[in-house]
Amino acid sequence: MTELQMKEQVLRMSGVDPLKCMRCGKCSGTCPSYDEMEYHPHQFVYMVEKGEISKLMASDSIYKCLSCMACVERCPRGVEPGKLVEAIRLLAVRRQGANHLKPDDIPAMLDEDLPQQAIVTAFRKYTK
């Protein structure tokens, strides 16, 4: 896929219109995972607009997003940056062999209290 095709795919999956962004940066002001991310929520919006999808797909940032929707809730323009992160992450893990979480690694991660919710969510978020 070309960058442009990937951009179109991301826009279609997420339903986000990056042109609505007025570059206020509230998403990055509110993001709880900001310091863990290489690219920050407002950069996701801008980079999608510019069509730089593969850079975002290659970055660890897509796995650092907590999916807490704070940026979606508080964006004054209804841009919903969190949905872009999610779409790009899906694009990344849907590639052959690109699952971010391997079933074989699971046993080592478990402890007796870990709720099922954590595992099923991780599978849904990081694998295809």
Binding site for other proteins (CB under 8 A): 12-15, 20, 22-36, 40, 42-43, 63-64, 66-70, 72-78, 80, 82-83, 86-87, 90, 101, 109, 111, 113-122, 124-126
Q: How far is the CB of 7 from other proteins (least distance, A)?
A: 15
* Nearer to other proteins (CB atom), residue 3 or residue 73: 73
Please report how the helices 41-50 and 3-14 are oriented relative to each other, as an axis angle in degrees rounded to 10: 130
Q: For residue 17, what are the CA distances in angstroms to 68, 105, 125?
A: 20, 37, 22
Tokens 């801008």 map to which residue?
46
CB of 49 to other proteins, least distance (A): 15
Q: What is the nearest approach in angstroms of other proteins to the Cβ of residue 60?
A: 10
CA 67 to chain CA mean position, Å: 8
Residues 6+ positions from 78 with CB-CB distance below 8 Å: 20
Kindly tell me which of 23 and 97 has the beta carbon lying closer to other proteins. 23
Name which of 30 and 54 has its Cβ closer to other proteins: 30
